[in-house]
Chains A and B, each alone.
Chain A
């Protein structure tokens, strides 16, 4: 059986001091184990992208993070029309990826919108970073930190929490993303970041749920990740009152997860909430 996927996309991306505006369309055909992808000749009309808004966001980020060094900054805004075996859908996406350094510390920040509050807060905490310390026995993780951790949790989640896929949108094969509990693979949905790569099964919109929904706001908070998370290990920047410091945290239990969530572009999407570890 053959599967045909088509995508028409337009994106404006700020990267390394350049603004790149890309217009392209392509199709992917899968027949059994064989995969073929190629550009499409016929185009569809897509809404304009405001490249100036992307540049404004990038310039505002540069202003907010001074005097730290920007190692990498990518800001993008895109729109795409998808089609899979006769199903059509549209997606708009905004992304920020920022790698920021101060002395020998690096924080990694990702957003799925142009809200810059996290960035401002993290930049401020980074500026006050002291030497590495042992992580305190109890910490809160800010939503952006929790979200970075979520994609590695579905198969190793501590017993106090459940991992769920929240509904919303369609996957890389046009199938609606439905709410379901994540326990073990194979996952129900397919992730396809580009028409040039084979889709892979992946959970979308991952959310941690816990019976306890309130966190102790007096506990120090992990405000940013300092490296990609590896399983249950996280290198994070901890903010404790006016002081911040890097620490390594091993996730062994999650005691509380707040209800308010923000979507972050980790794997096929993660809904970050404040968590109490």
Chain B
């Protein structure tokens, strides 16, 4: 594999990190060296050229641009990722969607957050329910957590958009409500491949959505976690509005920490097709990987 990683702040490059290496696995032993594959480095260079142009143009924030190229049994897989942060709020995007997502982020961080959290029904907009389900369904599936009763209208699957996984196996979709992801992934040649999500897609089939007058609307999530030992889910909400009498009030960041069974019971409605959520960088066992995230508008009580 080969990688290029650059950190841009207000249009100026502050960090440039290049990497390359090879991992060869025989049985349970992996031998890894930082040997260079010139062809992969060239591809990374090309991809970073595209990312750099966009990063340079985002003059009001911090951008981490990462280009990775992998060769697995002769198949090349390329990834281009950008994390854009403005006023300490981040999104994860691609070069194709970066300017649209950055504009969306600017709009969201423009309002001053004043309202404190209080328990109300939550409308998960903008695909943000994918983060909740990433933790409550995806990571739980990775850890073979006991089954819980999810609404019958809910489908959550991992739908790989890659030709080959990091162990050379053919990816296949996985129904995360009943099985773990099928793909093995690793952050770098130094890492052990793990069963990880690639693209989480939540869908609804026949759900009803009734929105109470007073509720919270979640737009962006700063991160989360799933604790397999206690079977609890944590979601850190970074941008949300309290909606009351048709008026919106920006809320201060808050966290949701609930048992997974409570999350499942609280899912009470959904509407429409899955919406792309701008970004999940998933960290497990110290390995950070990008996971695509899609979910319809959903409600938790």
Contacts and interface: CB of A to CB of B under 8 A. Distances in A.
Interface stretch (B26-34, B58-66, B204-212): B26-34
A37 B229 contact: no
A235 to B, nearest CB: 12
Interface in B171-196: 190-192, 194
Interface in A222-247: none
A22 B17 contact: no
A65 B211 CA distance: 51
B15 A198 contact: yes
Nearest to A22: B32
Contacts of B20: 39
> In the complex, which of the residues B23, B34, B191, B285 has the most CB atoms of chain A within 10 Å of its own CB atom?
B34
Contacts of B95: none
B31 A38 contact: no
Interface residues of B, number: 27
Interface string A1-45: 000000000000001111111111110000001111111010000
A66 interface: no
A72 B30 contact: no
A39 B192 contact: no
B15 A71 contact: no
A106 B230 CA distance: 10
A16 B285 contact: yes
A59 B62 CA distance: 45
B230 to A, nearest CB: 6
A110 B191 CA distance: 20
A197 to B, nearest CB: 9
Q: In the complex, which range does the number of interface residues on chain A fall in?
A: 20 to 34
B19 A34 contact: no
B30 A25 contact: no
B36 interface: yes
Nearest to A23: B33
Contacts of B45: none
Contact of B194 (A16, A26, A34, A71): A16
Given A24-B34, A34-B13, A39-B34, A19 B18 contact: no
Contacts of B191: 20
B121 interface: no
A101 B18 CA distance: 38
Nearest to B25: A18
Contact of B229 (A104, A196, A198): A104
Contacts of B29: 18-21, 51
Given A33-B14, A104-B229, A39 B28 contact: no
B14 A34 contact: yes
Contacts of B36: 39, 41
B15 A36 contact: yes
Contacts of A18: 25, 28-30, 192
B32 A23 contact: yes
B229 A22 contact: no
Contacts of A51: 29
Contacts of B190: 20, 22, 24
Ranked 10 nearest A-B pairs via Cβ: A24-B34, A38-B18, A39-B34, A20-B30, A22-B32, A36-B16, A37-B17, A35-B15, A18-B192, A23-B33
Interface of A: 15-26, 33-39, 41, 51, 71-72, 101, 104, 106, 196, 198
Given A22-B33, A23-B32, 8 more contacts: A19-B29, A23-B33, A24-B21, A24-B32, A38-B17, A39-B20, A51-B29, A104-B230
12 contacts: A15-B192, A16-B285, A18-B28, A20-B32, A24-B21, A24-B34, A34-B13, A35-B16, A37-B18, A39-B20, A72-B285, A198-B15
